[in-house]
Amino acid sequence: MRTKIVLADDHPVVRQRLRGLIELYPGFAVIGEAADGEDAVRQVVQLCPDVIVLDLAQPKQASIQTARLIHELRPITQIIILSMYAINEDVVQALKVGAQGYLLKESAGSELIEAIKTVHAKSFYVSPKLLRHLGSIFIRSMLA
């Protein structure tokens, strides 16, 4: 059984690179691409993917709102947020609205397949670099 994936990023080069990485992995198929948040929602509703990889910085509609809509309209689709920035508030907001993964673009090449496999198995995936940072903040807040 193939894992069906939609890619949503406003940069065609990024989508092509992600598609190339994903399609090297047997059992994964990119079934759609979106250039903005509104199109991402449409594609998820029409194509019913297992996973959507959603860039945090999307034109036309903020990705947090896009993730919220996708989660409401098709909660079975697992959402991975892809971001250039390790901003704690973004991670928390993304997970609160239904994202199951948060991946930094700098490590997308090496972590993307693992993130997709993890969220498709109904677990959470957060980039290890970001997880270490969030863990430090959590520990400091507990000790304060």
| pLDDT tens column, 87-116 | 667 777 888 899 999 998 887 777 999 999
Question: Domains, the chain, ranges and CATH?
Answer: 3-143 (3.40.50.2300)
Grade residue 78 by pLDDT with cuts at 50, 70 and 90. very high
**pLDDT for the residue 47:** 98
pTM of structure? 0.88
The CA-to-CA distance between both ends of the chain, in Å, stands at 49
Q: How far is CA 100 from the centre of its chain?
A: 8
40-69 confidence digits (pLDDT tens): 999 999 999 999 999 987 766 677 899 999
